[in-house]
Structure 1
């Protein structure tokens, strides 16, 4: 069964065209967060050269796990599974020179081929409504 799933995934991966739409949605999420939060949200990583289905941002002055706790039902995480349960600056963000005060608020949003504009707008609304002022 797993081999069949891997085979299907390989077939889907041969056509990267759907990821262009996902990238547009990722950028919509980033733009929506910026519009509502301004300098309270910081992009982690390169502005252009990054995965089309992932948005990693930091919420300045906050802890990522606290932000994540307000996002029930949203495909997001605070970092790699190997750091699960630990509240510390990601070694990757530290290596990128992200200050601890910013990096501690890191949240990684994941999008997929089935993600919709309405879902993106809903996440922006949810984040902005639940963050402390």
Structure 2
């Protein structure tokens, strides 16, 4: 059972983040897009944190976050966006969907590790 769900259509980013989190003691499940992420979240109730890109095929990260709160009625899982998108409109949509944070790529794990670990145990 995973603590973190890492959702990104870029295998390079997905693998980098997964490897970093695993090397720092977290269990991680990768997903290739929002649809895959929702399926994996439904299958694993132990997931406490979702880290997701915004722009992905099949289902984007913001839509996935909205479905986590709406369709799945899951208010317990924390959602953080890891993306190149930084527009105020997207951040507002994310805030409305209950997103806890917005990390602009490139991923700097050392700068956010303590926060991510805290969210997993919250």
User: What range is the shorter-chain TM-score in?
Assistant: 0.3 to 0.5
Compare the two structures and name the one with the higher strand fraction.
2
The TM-score normalised by the length of structure 2 is 0.36
- The higher radius of gyration belongs to 1
Compare the two structures and name the one with the higher helix fraction.
1
Q: Which structure carries more relative contact order (alpha carbon 8 Å, separation 6+)?
A: 1
The TM-score normalised by the length of structure 1 is 0.34
